[in-house]
Amino acid sequence: MSKTIRIGTRDSELALWQANIVKKLLEEAGHKTELVPVKSTGDLVLDKPLYELGITGIFTRTLDIAMLNHDIDIAVHSLKDVPTILPKGIIQAAVLKRGNVNDTLVFKDNEEFLGAKEAVIATGSLRRRAQWLNRFPTHTITDLRGNVNSRLQKLEDNDWNGAIFAAAGIGRIGIRPEEAINLDWMIPAPAQGAIMITALDEDDFVKEACAALNHEETEICTTIEREFLNKLEGGCTAPIGALAYIKDEEINFKGVLLSPDGTKRIDVTRVKKLGEHHDMAQYCADFVIERGGKRLMDNIKNSDRKTNVYSTKSFTEDQRLLFHEKVVAESSDFIKISLNRIAPRLLKNEIENVVITSKNAVESLTTNYSAIELQFKNIYCVGRKTKRLVENKIGKVKHTEKNAKKLAEYLVDYIEGTEVTYFCSDLRLDDLPNILEENNIKVNEIEAYQTKYDGVKVNDLVESAMFYSPSTVESFVKANNIEVIAFCIGETTAKEAKKHFKDVRVAKVPTVESVIELVNEHYI
């Protein structure tokens, strides 16, 4: 046990108190420790409410970077501040036994204002704001940021009736006023009152040391709450509350989603036997979503942020998460594909040279015929993903290039024979057939699928668009008459984009992820 465990923490009084608890527990277990205080973005930027900063993990990011840089071995957080998805390589190593889960009202003079029509309450939490206004709709909420000491001082210095705090926070450092009252009607933030330790997944020594500090009951309950939050796609920007607790071998759960002004509220409760609770969060999130939660979340997300990027292809969830926080991206499919029936007579004999430039052509072929029926001697294609799909579903690819023009140039020099069969769309905007025919190579075009324009009108304030084929450019232009920065997946797409836009940029590799990287580079 010669290794000294370096404990990373924010440098506020509460964060240091929590880190010292972990330090004490580790030292009692025989480990050497060292505290490493780090100032976070969340502590430095205090001129806006937390929910307006738009940064996931604002109180944890600096410590995450320090850990990934091996400047610290573990980090201690208030679990409610930690994003539900941790950075790659970082894990939840332990959760300590939970403290007081409640929100607490500290009032300036007395609590008589609770019965008054007008009152001013201070909080920087969107969740607390929404629940208070839901209960007291005529009251006024004012923003309150800073550490717990400075917030209490601001309450003293301002003409407010009261302010809301986490009971655990003001209780742990011994500054809870005697007259403060717990708001047992207010559903707390997911994992409120719990202290979490994160570590590098690769560090077995540290993981083993922290595992001894883990409190299983707290871990079970906070995991359900955070999974509920994750399923609703919430965070600092959404008023979501959740609380799970275990009683008589049963897990009791209650959750809530509100509109920021408190006028709309969706509640859910659930009780399951311990051990049969693994679908609890999913069930409760689905319950909320099905009762208007999805529309409510969409309204919250789009209420104060303007879309600056529009994608002409719908994102997967994993792709959406790749965007920098400064990017507000929307997406929809500007192209709709209809697979054609390919006549058997066109494939009755083995075809010597086949050209495939899109995954849609592969899907059309394999929808019509089995791999055994597709007798192709030499298959040439465009793009790594198309190649992978061809080899999974049809057969070995002889050669691939990153775009159609380069493939045509390759075929001019190296093709076996003087004829190719090209499975393409009814809308074909690439140069491949022209280049081949100019070099005396016959091209038999077979329409494998139809491409239909399905563009939507985007907001005129959209600054840029993401394009993945010449057809997506055409579809966008048909529906919109605005100048945008065109982020393109490849040179063929860029060529079409240059006909319509002044600023055209091309991704390093022809993938959606690479186009997203290009967008991030522009907006960071």
Domain boundary, last residue among 304, 323, 357: 304
Same domain, 199 and 151: no
Q: Which three-class secondary structure state does DSSP give residue 283?
A: helix
CA dist., res. 429 & res. 260, Å (int): 48
Residue 378, beta-bridge partner list: 353
CATH number at residue 147: 3.40.190.10
Residue 384, beta-bridge partner list: none
CA dist., res. 262 & res. 380, Å (int): 59
| Candidate list 43, 64, 73, 81, residue with the active-site label | 81
Same domain, 369 and 293: no
CA dist., res. 369 & res. 366, Å (int): 5
Q: How many CB atoms lie within 10 A of CB 521?
A: 11
Same domain, 210 and 220: no
pLDDT in tens, the chain (524 residues): 468 999 999 888 899 999 999 999 999 999 999 999 986 554 444 455 544 443 345 667 788 888 888 889 999 999 998 988 888 889 999 999 999 999 999 998 888 888 889 999 999 899 999 999 999 999 999 998 888 888 899 999 999 999 999 999 898 988 888 889 999 999 999 999 999 999 999 999 999 999 999 999 999 999 999 999 999 875 557 899 999 999 999 999 999 999 999 999 999 999 999 999 999 999 999 999 999 888 888 777 766 667 789 999 998 878 888 888 778 888 999 988 889 998 888 887 889 999 999 889 999 999 989 888 888 999 999 988 899 999 999 999 999 998 888 999 999 999 999 999 999 988 766 689 999 999 999 999 999 999 889 899 998 889 999 999 898 999 999 999 999 999 999 888 999 999 999 999 999 888 899 999 999 999 88
Same domain, 355 and 440: yes
Fill in the amino acid letter for 100. N
Question: Six-digit token pair at 106?
Answer: 């500290």
431 is catalytic: no
CA dist., res. 371 & res. 390, Å (int): 10
Residue 417, beta-bridge partner list: none
Residue 249, beta-bridge partner list: none
Same domain, 320 and 370: no
Phi, psi (deg, nearest 5) at residue 62: -60, -40
CA dist., res. 224 & res. 92, Å (int): 14
Same domain, 89 and 17: yes
CA dist., res. 200 & res. 209, Å (int): 12
Same domain, 378 and 246: no
Q: How many CB atoms lie within 10 A of CB 75?
A: 27
Same domain, 149 and 117: yes
Cβ proximity of 119 and 136 under 8 Å: yes
Chain-centre distance for alpha carbon 195: 24
Domain count, the chain: 5
Q: In 303-383, which residue ranges form alpha helices assigned H by DSSP?
A: 317-320, 359-368
C-alpha angle 238-241-244 in degrees, rounded to nearest 5 = 145
CA dist., res. 392 & res. 467, Å (int): 26
Cβ proximity of 101 and 243 under 8 Å: yes
- By the 10 Å C-beta count (0-12 exposed, 13-18 middle, 19+ buried), 175 is classed as middle
Question: Six-digit token pair at 32?
Answer: 């050497």
Q: Scan for tokens 């007291």, then name that residue.
A: 136
Same domain, 347 and 475: no
CATH number at residue 349: 3.40.50.10090
DSSP 291: I
Question: Six-digit token pair at 310?
Answer: 């529009």
Length of the chain: 524
Q: What is the largest CA-CA distance in the chain?
A: 93
Same domain, 357 and 413: yes
CA dist., res. 421 & res. 354, Å (int): 5
CATH number at residue 248: 3.30.160.40
Q: Which range of residues forms the domain containing residue 481?
A: 309-332+455-523
- pLDDT tens digits for range 277-289: 999 999 999 999 9
- By the 10 Å C-beta count (0-12 exposed, 13-18 middle, 19+ buried), 5 is classed as buried
Question: Six-digit token pair at 285?
Answer: 């999130």
Residue 290, beta-bridge partner list: none
- By the 10 Å C-beta count (0-12 exposed, 13-18 middle, 19+ buried), 18 is classed as buried
DSSP helix, strand, coil percent of the chain (3-state; round to 5): 35, 25, 40
Same domain, 233 and 163: no
Question: Six-digit token pair at 387?
Answer: 């190649």
- pLDDT tens digits for range 129-162: 999 999 999 999 999 888 888 889 999 999 999 9
Query: Distances in Å between the alpha carbon of 458 and those of 11, 313, 320, 329?
Result: 45, 14, 19, 12
Q: Is the pTM of this model over 0.85?
A: no
Fill in the amino acid letter for 63. L
Same domain, 285 and 356: no
